[in-house]
Structure 1
Amino acid sequence: MMPFQQQPQIGIRDTAAHRAIRYRTTGSGHGAIVRLMSPSDLGHLVKPFVFLDLFEGESSFINGMPMHPHSGIATVTVITEGNLRFEDAESGTGMIDYGGVEWMRAGGGVWHGKEMSVGTSRRIQGFQLWVALPPALENATVDSQYLESSVMPQVGPARVILGSYLGVQSPVRAPAGMNYLLVTLPAGESWSYVPPEGHESLWLSVSRGSLCAPERVLAGEMVIFEPGSGTVTLKAMHNDTVFVIGSAQPHPYDLALGNYSVHTNPQALRAGEAKIAEIGARLRDYLKKPNPSASVPVFK
């Protein structure tokens, strides 16, 4: 992760209309993937949002994603350009394009990584977000959803990916207390986000174009706003601008971190990692069979 910069605090209290940016980062690149936030850095500031990747490149890079485990979190993948095909034993097959969503509640443990494959587009862009789960769900059973863009509700320029906004509820089975929106603003247009009551954490990240917030936020940046309840007004600069914005009630738990896991305490982390190891052993045995299926989208 590249160093992030704390914004000057001068003048914040001079105007209630200005919700200042506290941190900004351009992350660190890993090929087609840029890691903007991890649980060990900015994730502590905006939890339950604890991890954010921006991915962009030739669609074929998705073929190189290995099977890998998670526990204690949910992953949310949103497509902002191009499309990917999904395949799941329980959900069937389909295509996710702009505004489409993959939701994977890892809970007590899961291995995945092959449920998404190349679609019809040459290039792909999108975000993957991790959400820390509350104690009641962090070691629960796996729950996954693959939602095509046609079923995702919209309020003005915003797709409601998680939560509820202005009376419109996302179909994603996410815990209460958080919102996650995908917004496209035409050049020169403004849009205001009014956080629900109690949503003190607020951040956004731009994938295309640039915003005035009122400081400029460029494509590839993530910014975190000062804690509070105030509205933030955003204006697309010279080009159409695509960004995600998240707000939430603060996650009132510590982050117990593993290599692929985030839990609320060390005991829950040990349980999750033990389950991951057990599933991994079964997965390796399965792959040694003479004629395993061509793909193993999810193993739980």
Structure 2
Amino acid sequence: MSLRPTLETRLAQPAIEGAGVHLHRAFGFQDPSELDPFLLFDDFRNDRPEDFKQGFPWHPHRGIETITYVLEGSVEHSDSLGNTGNLQSGDIQWMTAGSGILHQEMPQGNTNGQMHGFQLWANLPSSLKMTEPRYQDVKGADIPEIIDDDGTRVKVIIGNFWGKSGPVDGIAADPQYLDIYVPPGVKKTFPVDTYRRAFAYVFDGAGAFADASAPTGILLEKEVAGQEVNIRDLSGNRTLIRFGTGDEVTVQAGPEGLRFLLVSGAPIQEPVAWHGPIVMNTQEELRKAFAELRNGTFIQPAH
């Protein structure tokens, strides 16, 4: 087994999207090869309804898939295909935009006015850019949760982990998407397929990730699996950790425990032409998509 080195840690940055939704962006609109096949990750945590109630009115997507995971509050959605729904706390939605879709997402706070969720964009390969759009809405009760003897909890949202399979299927990026809680003081190692790009997003508590190399900013050293490795200490306030290659990630939870998302996917390794909500392979394809938006032919007829 080989430990994945920490290539980079960074805090998610404030951003405003839609009709004035205040959120934090961990990555996006930068180098699309950095976390290929993933393009963007937003954390929309907010306890001020005036900062999110205007939502994300009608807008287009083409060439990608979006994964929305709601922790608190709800998100009402509708689209140009006639689909409507309401994602509640714990629910997830995977939208394959494919050839093109118009949709809107309107977040609603819980009884205390709080809203929290995540949205991840996954690229589609050229062979599936113009596939037929579809939705997969999954209730939180249908997401399997594994509780280990030491109290570690893992929700398997997508992919296979510790003998459980997530309820979302048929995804081009073939990702693994886990919501992990590690109890106070517990050290835990999680397998990650060697051939996938991987990142963690720490959003609650604090802890330290073991590192097989010695990047800048190491605070202390511990012995893990019989070898000296470095430990990078992290707070849980919206921290992204980008990993190098290897087949496992080791974390030591702090005194309050640690909760994070662990996401990995097979890289597509194709050219990316990207503007706003549309991601294609060439600039010509991108120009065509926006021309179709202007002339009203963006939405393809159903087969």
- Under TM normalisation by the shorter chain, which class is it? 0.7 to 0.9
Instruction: Find the counterpart in structure 1 of residue 220 from structure 2.
Output: none
Task: Provide the C-alpha distance between the structure 1 equivalents of 2:294 and 2:108, rounded to a whole number of angstroms.
Answer: 26
Instruction: Find the counterpart in structure 1 of residue 255 from structure 2.
Output: 238
CA shift for structure 1 position 33: 0.5
- For residue 102 of structure 2, give the secondary structure of its aligned residue in structure 1: strand
Amino acid at match of 1:75: T
**As a proportion of its length, which structure holds more helix?**
1
Q: Which structure 2 segments of 5+ residues have no match?
A: 17-21, 148-152, 211-231
Of residues 172-181 and 272-281 in structure 1, the stretch that sits farther from structure 2 once superposed is 272-281
**Does the alignment pair 1:96 with 2:88?**
yes
- For residue 252 of structure 1, give the secondary structure of its aligned residue in structure 2: coil
Is the 8 Å Cα contact of residues 205 and 221 (structure 1) preserved in structure 2? yes
Instruction: Find the counterpart in structure 2 of residue 40 from structure 1.
Output: 30
Amino acid at match of 1:249: A
Instruction: Find the counterpart in structure 1 of residue 158 from structure 2.
Output: 162
Q: 1:59 to 1:185 in 2, by over 3 A?
A: farther
Amino acid at match of 1:136: S
Compute the TM-score of the two structures, normalised by the length of structure 2.
0.76
Instruction: Find the counterpart in structure 1 of residue 180 from structure 2.
Output: 183
**As a proportion of its length, which structure holds more strand?**
2
Q: Deviations over 1:178-217 (max 9, x none)?
A: 2111112222223322113522x11111111122102122
Instruction: Find the counterpart in structure 2 of residue 252 from structure 1.
Output: 269
Q: How many residues align?
A: 262
Instruction: Find the counterpart in structure 2 of residue 72 from structure 1.
Output: 63
Is the 8 Å Cα contact of residues 66 and 119 (structure 2) preserved in structure 1? yes
- For residue 67 of structure 2, give the secondary structure of its aligned residue in structure 1: strand
Percent identity, aligned pairs only, is 22
Is the 8 Å Cα contact of residues 96 and 147 (structure 1) preserved in structure 2? no
Task: Provide the C-alpha distance between the structure 1 equivalents of 2:159 and 2:107, rounded to a whole number of angstroms.
Answer: 24
Q: What are the within-5 Å matches in structure 2 for residues 60-209 of structure 1?
A: 60=49, 61-65=51-55, 66-80=57-71, 82-88=72-78, 93-98=85-90, 100-114=91-105, 116-156=107-147, 157-173=153-169, 174-175=171-172, 177-199=174-196, 201-209=197-205
Task: Provide the C-alpha distance between the structure 2 equivalents of 1:161 and 1:260, rounded to a whole number of angstroms.
Answer: 24
Of residues 53-62 and 101-110 in structure 1, the stretch that sits farther from structure 2 once superposed is 53-62
Q: Deviations over 1:94-153 (max 9, x none)?
A: 44213x212211111122223554454521222111000112321222111222210112
- For residue 33 of structure 1, give the secondary structure of its aligned residue in structure 2: strand
Task: Provide the C-alpha distance between the structure 2 equivalents of 1:185 and 1:133, rounded to a whole number of angstroms.
Answer: 32
Q: Which structure 1 segments of 5+ residues have no match?
A: 1-15, 283-300
Q: Deviations over 1:264-286 (max 9, x none)?
A: 3334434443444455999xxxx
Amino acid at match of 1:225: F
Is the 8 Å Cα contact of residues 207 and 258 (structure 2) preserved in structure 1? yes
**Does the alignment pair 1:57 with 2:42?**
no
- For residue 273 of structure 1, give the secondary structure of its aligned residue in structure 2: helix
Cα RMSD, aligned residues only: 2.6
Q: Deviations over 1:60-84 (max 9, x none)?
A: 344212322211111111123x220
- For residue 45 of structure 1, give the secondary structure of its aligned residue in structure 2: coil
Q: 1:93 to 1:251 in 2, by over 3 A?
A: closer
